[in-house]
A and B are shown apart, each in its own frame.
Chain A
Amino acid sequence: MSSNSEKLEGKALNNLLVAELQTMRKFTYSLTGSVDDAHDVVQLAVERCLKSGVPADGSRAWLFRVCRNLWIDEIRRRRRKPQDDFEEERDSVVGSEFELNLAEKDLSRRNQLQAVAAAFEKLSDEQRQALSMSAIEGMSYQEIATALELPMGTVMSRIARARLALNQHLEGKK
């Protein structure tokens, strides 16, 4: 996105943030696995967007990018590792174990949710981000490519591999 692009501010920005709040919560929850951590990231993201504005073009993708970058920064801060060590671990799972505040009385469904959560945790953080944006948030491949600053072909193959890997982890538990 061009740094000179027009920005959403004021009422228009507020409308966007209100409209996308649930999406941001779900996305950050998929990354952090924790409701509290998700809300921390969303709060930081909202503060940052209100302070700096959001590009009018690709605003939705921008919001996802802000959330993702804040999540990565938070993980780095907590781990307090030198940059090199973090880069080595970047492809490994960085989120905490998925919290499932389940009020699910159907035991079969509960087991299914727990199994998918456990398999999802095993994906790399890049695969989790891409799969979350596509399968959960229903973003277009172009939006995801913009948010993750990746070529669209990379996005498509990453999502495909994430789906297969998730399924393989699930089958491995059987």
Chain B
Amino acid sequence: MTISDEDALLLSRYIDGNLDGKESAGFKARLLSEPELLQLYEALAQNDEVLSDMVGRIESEPVPDEIETLLTESDRPNPYERWQVIAASVLVGVVVLSFLTVSDQDAELASLLDVTPSGQVVAYEAGSLEVISTFETQFGWCREFMTTSERGVACRDSDSWTVMASEPVLNGDGGGVYQPAGNDSGVQEFVLRELLGPVADREIETRLLATWGEEP
């Protein structure tokens, strides 16, 4: 099948979940009405799946001892690390810690945090939202996110999200462009201080989103 560059790009973005709701619905309608396009989509999607399976086979190979040793040695606790974090906080001052329960106006943000996988850009208000990562803290599961105007961290208790840290995005230009707001970032400080264990991998995150998304 001959396909235009524009359609090739749309098809690839559709496979990657990169189209917004309206674009995605429109392209899906085209797939249902254009058999050749649908056939190509199925072929490309299957190729991705086989590729993923092929490369994933290294996971069944043991991690070399040399790499395990590097990570084990680097995991030994640094008794001065916590004092360094506290000293840094005192020097730069406490920056942006606001405990705001997500209001009805931000109900859209809350619902997006419940269902949006990390790395995916979705439409939000007049711009966009990208969830950066999901991680566990003493406050429960938290998610770092980026909108057109704000970067923040929100944590979820039993049924609601609370924004734990936020700051305006400098030179935000929408489209989910991830730009650090500056060197003295309260959001970064929150993440580094509160992070318990590794960032949630895709499997864990998928389970969390499935649970949160089902709650009324």
Which residues of chain A have a CB within 8 Å of any CB of chain B? 2, 4-6, 8, 10-19, 21-22, 25-26, 29-30, 35, 38-39, 42-43, 46-47, 50, 56-58, 98, 100-102, 112-113, 116-117, 120, 131-132, 134-136, 138-143, 146, 152, 156-157, 159-161, 163-164, 166-167, 170
**B199 — which chain A residues lie within 8 A by C-beta?**
15-16, 19
**Which of B3, B8, B180 makes the CB contact (< 8 A) with A57?**
B180
Contact digits for B65-106, partner A, Cβ 8 Å, 1 yes 0 no: 011001100110110010000000000000000000000000
The residue in chain B whose Cβ has the minimal distance to the Cβ of A157 is B9
B202 touches which of A15, A138, A157, A166 (Cβ 8 Å): A138
Question: With a CB–CB cut-off of 8 A, which chain A residues contact B55?
Answer: 26, 29-30, 132, 136
B210 at the binding interface (Cβ < 8 Å): no
Whether A35 pairs with B61 at a CB distance below 8 angstroms is: yes
The residues in B between 103 and 139 inclusive whose CB is less than 8 angstroms from any CB of A are 119-121, 130
CA distance A169 to B53 in the complex (A): 19
B72 — nearest CB in chain A belongs to which residue? A14
The contact sample of 13 A-B pairs, CB cut-off 8 A, is: A6-B183, A6-B188, A8-B192, A10-B81, A19-B199, A26-B59, A30-B55, A132-B55, A134-B16, A136-B48, A140-B176, A142-B176, A152-B175
- A14 near B9: Cβ-Cβ < 8 Å: no
Residue in B closest to A50 when the chains form the complex, CB atoms: B74
CB B142 to nearest CB in A, in angstroms, measures: 14
A103 to chain B, nearest CB (A): 8
Residues of chain B with a CB closer than 8 A to A170's CB: 43, 47
Q: Which residue of B lies closest to A132 (CB)?
A: B55
Query: Contacts A21-B71, A159-B12 known; A116 to B121 CB distance under 8 Å?
Result: no
Query: Which residues of chain A are within 8 angstroms of B40 by Cβ–Cβ distance?
Result: 167
**Known interface pairs A11-B81, A29-B55. Does A160 touch B11 (Cβ–Cβ under 8 Å)?**
yes
Contact A164 B59 (CB under 8 A): no
B47 touches A140 (CB 8 A): no
Q: In the docked arrangement, what's the CA distance between A6 and B40, Å?
A: 44
Taking a contact as CB atoms under 8 Å apart, the answer to whether B119 and A18 are in contact is no
Q: Say yes or no: A12 contacts B195, CB within 8 Å.
A: yes
Output the least CB separation between A164 and chain B (Å).
6
Contact (Cβ within 8 A) A156 B78: no
B28 within 8 A of A: no
Q: Is B25 an interface residue (CB 8 A)?
A: no
